Structure 1
Amino acid sequence: MTEHPWSYTSTSGHLAGTRLTGYKVEAIDGSIGKVDKHSDEVGDAYLVVDTGVWIFGKEVLLPAATVVRIDVEERKIFVDRTKEQIKDAPEFHRDKHLEDRDYRHELSMYYGLGGPFGGPMV
């Protein structure tokens, strides 16, 4: 069960203060890009991932609870969603959505993190 959509799970290996910018991000079925920006504030943790050419140079916002493992030595972050799920997420615009509570709620619901039972989408 998810502890909070905008917090890293206790089993992810996240250590507060670790600079994740530049880490590669791996979905269940392959690479999706690199971390361009991140936050590790309690209750407001996320990754902004630059997807490069994969989805036409767009960025995506991933709630911290989607992170299942951080490998500091390999500089990789593993998330528990497929590339398709991430590609089909509500469109993200950094200037508009980074601080938008409604967008965050929409994203939490999309990833199956915002309901009363939490947990990943099936």
Structure 2
Amino acid sequence: MTAHEWTFDTESGHLAGTDLTGWRVEAADGHIGKVDKHSDEVDDSYLVVDTGAWIFGKKVLIPASAVTRVDLQEHTIHLGLVTEQVKDAPEFSSDKHLADRQYREEIVAYYRVRGPFSGGGGVV
């Protein structure tokens, strides 16, 4: 696993230190939920997205490189993923998965198969 999957693209508009909790999350083809938790630590940046009971009813871990744009005005995060990718992603449980490196590797592998990571900037 390389660190770039867990790093925000410099062109995404993400500003380190910005509290993204509660921000709206948009996949390439529609709304998928809100940020429940996030990290912008170097080489360990991610979003935990609560998809809400009315969409998929689970939380998912999304590597920071999937973020294509952060709209600071609208408090919205745009991803280079489609709703189906997020819907089918493994469920995230912070108690079990937050410090689990193997789980993180599985997440990267999941998104690679369903939309390969491009060389450091976003998931397509």
TM-score by length of 1: 0.88
Q: How many residues align?
A: 116
Name the structure 2 match of 1:55. Answer: 56
Which stretch shifts more, 94-103 or 3-12? Answer: 3-12
Partner of 1:23: 23
Unmatched runs of 5 consecutive residues or more in structure 1: none
Alignment of 1:1-122 (within 5 A): 4-53=4-53, 54-56=55-57, 58-112=58-112, 118-119=117-118, 120=123
- Tell me the distance in 1 between the aligned counterparts of 2:12 and 2:34: 18
- Please state how far the C-alpha of 1:111 moved relative to its aligned partner: 1.1
Amino acid at match of 1:63: P
List structure 1 runs of 4+ shifted beyond 6 angstroms: none
Equivalent pair of 2:3/2:43 in contact (CA under 8 Å): no
Change (3 A) 1:101 1:3: closer
The SS at the match of 2:22 is: coil
| Aligned-partner Cα distance in 2 for 1:82–1:118 | 14
RMSD over equivalenced CA pairs, Å: 1.9
Q: How far apart in 2 are the matches of 1:91 and 1:59?
A: 6
**Structure 1 or 2: larger helix share?**
2
1:3: how far off?
A: 7.3
* Displacement of 1:110: 1.1
The unaligned stretches of length 5 or more in structure 2 are none
Deviation at 1:5, TM superposition (A): 0.4
**SS of alignment partner, residue 62 of structure 1:** strand
| Alpha-carbon distance in 1 for matches of 2:105, 2:72 | 29
Letter in 2 for 1:4: H
**% identical aligned pairs:** 57
